[in-house]
Structure 1
Amino acid sequence: MQKIISASNFADIMGVSKATLQKWETNGAFVPSIDPAGRKFFYVEKLLGVPEISDMVQSSWEEEMQVNPLRSYTSIELFAGAGGLALGLEKAGFSHILLNEIDHDACVTLQYNRPEWRVVEQDVRTISFKQFNGKVDFLSGGFPCQAFSYAGKQGGFNDTRGTLFFELARAVKEIQPKVFMGENVKGLAAHDGGRTLETIRNTIAELGYTLIEPRVLKAIFYQVPQKRERLILVAIRNDIADKVQFKWPDPYHRIMTLRDAFFKGELYDTDVPPSEGQTYPLKKQKVMELVPMGGYWRDLPLDVQKEYMGGSFELEGGKTGMARRLSLDEPSLTLTCAPAQKQTERCHPTETRPLTVREYARIQTFPDEWKFAGTLSSQYKQIGNAVPVNLAYAVGRSLIRLFNDIESL
């Protein structure tokens, strides 16, 4: 593991704001050192009492990279999008026999990059999975987060009708895979006062599966240069569940930054290739030119702040996504479906422009040869909605290890 860690990356590891880290420093909880350029950093050896840091130092990452499937494990994926999850799981060793997605451009993307995959472009509600009963090892899907009806007191399978989680549950019921996985936004855990997740738990139990306690995984821990968090649900069929144990992936030894994403190094063999991207209107460009690397609207001159922010200037809250320029020395903020929305600005660290398609793709750890179909805005949307490939790969290795244990029974 690296010997030092920047203050901003330490804040990301801890999941706190820079303001909170500043409070900790003031209280003497963590004392930073200062480099010649005036930047704060910490010596890793002084942080070994912090569980997140000791986990990175003692990680079994290299060992986990050696995990290979004992045989070809078959997989079906619903809501496949542009293939971030599918690609990561394939790298880990799964063989996809069917991928379902309703978005046309995303289907073209999948088919173009993997002509051998069977991609079904249709509404999941119209697909029967009964032909796969007992023939598929694994099922996965990133279902959208939707409110349930709670007709029953407990909330279960029937209460999820009309939602896309119901379709994932129906596929589980029809296929009976050994294991299935759902992934979602971090907010699902607290959605509707926790009732949404409670209903999902009840449904999984009703289906005859044992849910591993869900976890929010931070992509920055798994070789992804982006502060994205995903809630992962893994469930094992009851006849197998008590005989095996699922182990979550260990973190990588360091945090990847935009420097890793855009330049030749540990993540990529070359600098980021040129590609098309959005541009700023002249007026906005003039404003963004005034924002320093890693800065946002509060770093603008006061008169420019007031004009740019308009009515939002007087409102409470940080609005830290507005007029935001990313930093080469930090992971990117979570990518959205468009790189130049006012609320969630993602300006290039050193050039005054939105990120290009290939820069977007690298932040999501797609390989450079993975091409996206459709209009420019469709490509951004496909990439922004994806599960980061390296996060999927890390979870995939944990799942392959689980399947190897099941195979050995």
Structure 2
Amino acid sequence: MDMFSGIGGFREGLRRAGGFECAGHCEQDEHAERSYRALFDTRGEWFCDDIRKADAGSMPDFELLCGGFPCQSFSIAGSRHGFADPRGTLFFELARVAEARKPQYLLFENVPGLLNHDGGRTFAAILDTLDGLGYGVEWQVLNSKDFDVPQSRRRVYIVGYLDARCAGKILPFRETNDAAPAALRDGAQGSWVYDPAGVSCTLSASCGGFGGRTGLYDVSGGVPIKEATKKGYKMAYPGDSIDLAYPRMNTRRGRVGRQTAHTLTTDATQGTLEPRPVRTPLVSSPERNPSRTGKPGAPMFTLTTKDRHGVLLGKRIRRLTPRECLRLQGWRDDRIDRVLAIQSDNQVYKQAGNGVTVTVVEAIGRRLADVHNELEAMDKA
């Protein structure tokens, strides 16, 4: 059951993991809901536009309850009002559904600020609530850059289960990706390939306009010239994009199965200049305020709803395209095409920033499915 579904990041990740079938979803934003229905066949499924109005008794049977409950009230970038904010109380709507239907598993996502909000009392209340419903609970802060996308996006994932034999088998993930950028393939400028440590800033829902000027990526097979030169991207070179279609290869740290993307780089006509990440470039020039400018080749500053970000290359700064933002959330181009065909750029920026990273959900889903199948086999033996 896909609650606070957005455009369907949970559903897409579990679909890729295999063995999951969605029983229904809930989403209040009409634009996100339009994208969801363009991405998935929802005919005959249960639906509700407001979880507060959801009749748990009318829901079909389901074994996994998913939800990225609204995070603005817990985010460092937000007001951090927590449960005092009406959005913060929506967690208890998930708990209400869980109490009524008793699914075997829970999978929730939120910002890391949830853990220390109000001195930890907010998270303690969440744990106490789930414990009272009979769930064992484990949680971990995972970074999307460790799951085959070049975006630094730290989120806390909460897993609940009714069967104590699940303990320690879904979380934690122990491998992290903290290495400095290292070249895997050198050569002419613009053809270098780096390991996934060359990451972008964290996407947020308000990354449209100047707030979305967050990167310059030069890779093969990028966005079409028509898309790259449309209004808002006129400073992008034809072919600029993020492309995760490179063959999987071993990194110098011995990992297998990491997809790679080009690091921030320059067009051949720009010589050997290296791009530099810039925070709030409109406030003051990078030259006069060096603390707002990273070193050449450094990762992007984390994108928030208040700061504005860009990439300095000589005098050029350009924003990420909507396609790139969805790629950074793990969506593949054939799926992205369906969203771009029906949504404005601003809506796509919002939907990408509000979403969950598909590849992270896929990895958790694979583990959850393995554990579930293992327990079923044990019970039948």
TM-score (normalizing by structure 1): 0.61
1:367 to 327, 332, 338: 332
**How many Å apart are 1:148 and its aligned residue?**
2.7
Partner of 1:83: 8
| Separation in 1, partners of 2:93, 2:223 | 38
Partner of 1:124: 51
* Structure 1 residue identity aligned to 2:319: P
**How many Å apart are 1:365 and its aligned residue?**
1.6
1:221 aligns with 2:134: no
**How many Å apart are 1:278 and its aligned residue?**
6.2
1:148 aligns with 2:89: no
**How many Å apart are 1:217 and its aligned residue?**
0.5
Partner of 2:26: 100
> Equivalences for 1:325-404 in 2 at 5 Å?
334=302, 343-347=307-311, 352-370=317-335, 371-372=338-339, 373-404=342-373
TM-score (normalizing by structure 2): 0.65
Partner of 1:177: 103
| Separation in 1, partners of 2:53, 2:284 | 56
| Separation in 2, partners of 1:335, 1:105 | 23
Give yes or no for contact 2:70–2:90 (8 Å, CA) kept in 1: yes
Give yes or no for contact 1:101–1:107 (8 Å, CA) kept in 2: yes
| Separation in 1, partners of 2:330, 2:302 | 13
> Equivalences for 1:309-320 in 2 at 5 Å?
318=291
Partner of 1:246: 169
**How many Å apart are 1:356 and its aligned residue?**
0.8
**How many Å apart are 1:405 and its aligned residue?**
2.3
Unaligned residue ranges in structure 2 (runs of 5+): 74-81, 178-194, 201-216, 236-265
**How many Å apart are 1:306 and its aligned residue?**
8.4
Give yes or no for contact 2:64–2:105 (8 Å, CA) kept in 1: yes
**How many Å apart are 1:162 and its aligned residue?**
7.4
Partner of 2:219: 263
**How many Å apart are 1:271 and its aligned residue?**
3.1
2:127 to 191, 201, 206: 201
Q: Pick closer, same or farther for the CA change 1:303–1:110 going to 2, 3 Å.
A: closer
| Separation in 2, partners of 1:241, 1:393 | 23
Give yes or no for contact 2:8–2:36 (8 Å, CA) kept in 1: yes
| Separation in 1, partners of 2:166, 2:343 | 46
CA offsets 1:49-84 (integer angstroms, 9 cap, x no match):
xxxxxxxxxxxxxxxxxxxxxxxxxxx010111122
Q: Pick closer, same or farther for the CA change 1:187–1:180 going to 2, 3 Å.
A: same
| Separation in 2, partners of 1:348, 1:141 | 37
Q: Pick closer, same or farther for the CA change 1:335–1:111 going to 2, 3 Å.
A: farther
> Equivalences for 1:15-164 in 2 at 5 Å?
76-93=1-18, 94-116=20-42, 118=45, 120=47, 122-132=49-59, 135-145=61-71, 146=73, 147-148=82-83, 163-164=89-90
Give yes or no for contact 1:223–1:252 (8 Å, CA) kept in 2: no
CA offsets 1:124-153 (integer angstroms, 9 cap, x no match):
1011122347x211111001244236xxxx
Partner of 2:278: 296
| Separation in 1, partners of 2:153, 2:87 | 29
Give yes or no for contact 1:278–1:355 (8 Å, CA) kept in 2: no
Give yes or no for contact 1:82–1:110 (8 Å, CA) kept in 2: yes
CA offsets 1:34-57 (integer angstroms, 9 cap, x no match):
xxxxxxxxxxxxxxxxxxxxxxxx
CA offsets 1:176-201 (integer angstroms, 9 cap, x no match):
10011111001111111111100001
| Separation in 1, partners of 2:142, 2:284 | 41
| Separation in 1, partners of 2:371, 2:108 | 16
Partner of 1:50: none
Partner of 1:230: 155
Kindly report the root-mean-square deviation, in angstroms, between the aligned alpha carbons of the 2 structures: 4.0
SS of the residue corresponding to residue 407 of structure 1 reads helix
Q: Pick closer, same or farther for the CA change 1:256–1:272 going to 2, 3 Å.
A: farther
Give yes or no for contact 2:280–2:309 (8 Å, CA) kept in 1: no
| Separation in 1, partners of 2:48, 2:131 | 30
**Greater helix fraction, Structure 1 or Structure 2:** 1
Q: Pick closer, same or farther for the CA change 1:299–1:331 going to 2, 3 Å.
A: closer
| Separation in 1, partners of 2:299, 2:101 | 39
| Separation in 2, partners of 1:401, 1:138 | 14
What is the percentage of aligned positions where both structures have the same residue?
Answer: 30
| Separation in 1, partners of 2:119, 2:55 | 33
Give yes or no for contact 1:107–1:119 (8 Å, CA) kept in 2: no
Unaligned residue ranges in structure 1 (runs of 5+): 1-75, 150-159, 265-269, 283-288, 308-312
SS of the residue corresponding to residue 343 of structure 2 reads coil
Partner of 2:188: none
